[in-house]
């Protein structure tokens, strides 16, 4: 009964039975390999793999639809997958895309440093790899990077925070708290650094005060970009450092976290601080119009997807895709040629004009 021998044999027998039935359908693959990156054309109806992270924000769901529609329209076979179960699932999905014969992989990584093996496998199979929104780290096997300029995003957030607080109260000092994104997302640090490039000098000269003293990235992180984690930290900060003091502003890396922090502030019975955001989520845009959240960033997913697809088309045609930055994005192994899109800051003042073209946000902001 517990004889591994018997059962093992049975397993093998069963397997051969399957193989015998299917052997004729097996296509010879393997030893072809070799297409070099970024140059050669491939058939126009090829499969294009798009590996996206967890389905956690509206933008990723929108991106899925846009990729499917856009790639289909251009004649490709799109293969778009979310990895809800985490890094290991994304690894397996990328392997499967390669097996299915994808010619280009667009990767929105969960953790940009944990896909090395699969990317190498892709490269060995002659696949061109585009890092989408999040840079792929520690690997030689990435050809292009397409994203919004994330350092710029941070800068804009920092500036908006200062500006918003000055409008409310012309003179400092201002009490602020800092929140950053998830440490396993390479962009989180870039956002934070961008914002700090504006805020740090002001903290140093005393205009800004962080009463909790938590000013480093490690202290400010929000695991997994989860709103409950941000909310919990905000609760702690408020009860710990703002019993009597006023909280003037909060640097929040995105809309989801901004709303969580606002919830916490309300629960603590404090007046709404100036708070930044990013991603232009519907709820946050409404919140801006209602005068609660101060700002968000418009990184139109449409434009980003559009450019990613343009890159695929160029690669297919054998052209070198357009890039506008070949210096700034070093992934610790190589400098990745990048195409960066300009983010736009949105506050109550420009909210009506910013989303004019947007089919979802347009009607809301009218």
Residues 182-221 that bind another protein (CB under 8 A): 182-184, 218, 221
Tokens representing 347? 């506050």
Classify the C-alpha dihedral 162-167-172-173 as positive or negative.
Answer: negative
Half-sphere exposure of 15 (CA within 13 A, CB side): 6
Site for another protein in 328-357 (CB under 8 A): 332
DSSP 8-state symbol, 205? T
State the Cα–Cα distance between residues 222 and 225, nearest whole angstrom.
Answer: 5
Site string for another protein, 41-80 (x = CB under 8 A): --------------x-----------------------xx
How near is the Cβ of 305 to another protein at its closest, in Å? Answer: 18
Does position 236 interact with another protein (CB under 8 A)? The reply is no
DSSP 8-state symbol, 45? T
Does position 149 interact with another protein (CB under 8 A)? The reply is no
- Specify the stretch interacting with another protein by CB under 8 A; choose among 37-45, 96-104, 276-284, 313-321: 96-104
Does position 36 interact with another protein (CB under 8 A)? The reply is no
Site string for another protein, 246-275 (x = CB under 8 A): ------------------------------
- Read off φ and ψ for residue 350, nearest 5 degrees: -105, 15
How near is the Cβ of 260 to another protein at its closest, in Å? Answer: 18
- Read off φ and ψ for residue 19, nearest 5 degrees: -65, -40
Binding footprint of another protein, residue count (CB under 8 A) = 72
Task: Please identify which residue in 63, 122, 137, 354 interacts with another protein, judged by CB under 8 A.
Answer: 137
The reply to whether omega before 173 is within 30° of 0 (cis) is yes
How near is the Cβ of 348 to another protein at its closest, in Å? Answer: 35
Rg, Å, the chain Cα set: 24
Tokens representing 54? 């967890």
Please identify, using beta-carbon distances, which residue of 162 and 186 lies nearer to another protein: 186
Cβ contact 85:110 at 8 Å: no
């Amino acid at each position: 009964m517990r004889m591994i021998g018997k059962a093992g044999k049975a397993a093998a027998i069963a397997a051969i039975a399957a193989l015998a039935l299917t052997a004729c359908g097996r296509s010879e693959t393997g030893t072809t390999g070799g297409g070099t990156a970024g140059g050669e054309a491939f058939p126009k109806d090829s499969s294009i793999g798009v590996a996206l992270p967890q389905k956690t924000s509206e933008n990723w769901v929108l991106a899925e639809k846009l990729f499917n529609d856009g790639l289909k329209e251009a004649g490709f076979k799109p293969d778009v997958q979310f990895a809800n179960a985490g890094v290991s699932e994304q690894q397996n999905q990328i392997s499967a895309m390669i097996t299915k014969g994808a010619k280009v992989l667009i990767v929105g990584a969960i953790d940009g440093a944990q896909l090395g093996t699969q990317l190498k496998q892709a490269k060995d199979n002659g696949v061109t790899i585009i890092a989408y929104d999040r840079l792929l780290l520690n690997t030689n096997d990435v050809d292009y990077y397409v994203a919004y300029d994330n350092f710029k995003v941070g800068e804009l957030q920092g500036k908006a925070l200062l500006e918003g607080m000055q409008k409310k109260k012309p003179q400092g000092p201002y009490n602020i708290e800092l929140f950053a994104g998830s440490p396993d997302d390479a962009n989180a640090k870039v956002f934070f650094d961008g914002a700090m490039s504006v805020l740090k000098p002001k903290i140093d000269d005393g205009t800004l005060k962080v009463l909790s003293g938590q000013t480093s990235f490690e202290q400010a992180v929000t695991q997994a970009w989860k709103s409950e984690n941000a909310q919990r930290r905000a609760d702690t900060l408020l009860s710990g450092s703002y019993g009597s003091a006023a909280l003037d502003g909060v640097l929040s890396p995105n809309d989801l976290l901004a709303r969580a922090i606002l919830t916490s502030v309300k629960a603590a019975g404090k007046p709404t601080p100036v708070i930044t955001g990013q991603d232009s989520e519907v709820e946050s845009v409404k919140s801006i119009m209602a005068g609660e959240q101060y700002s968000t960033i418009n990184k139109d997913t449409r434009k980003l997807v559009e450019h990613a697809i343009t890159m695929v088309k160029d690669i297919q045609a054998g052209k070198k895709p357009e890039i506008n930055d070949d210096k700034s994005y070093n992934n610790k192994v190589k400098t990745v040629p990048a195409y960066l899109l300009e983010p736009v800051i949105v506050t109550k003042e420009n909210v009506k004009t910013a989303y004019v073209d947007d089919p979802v946000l347009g009607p809301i902001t009218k």
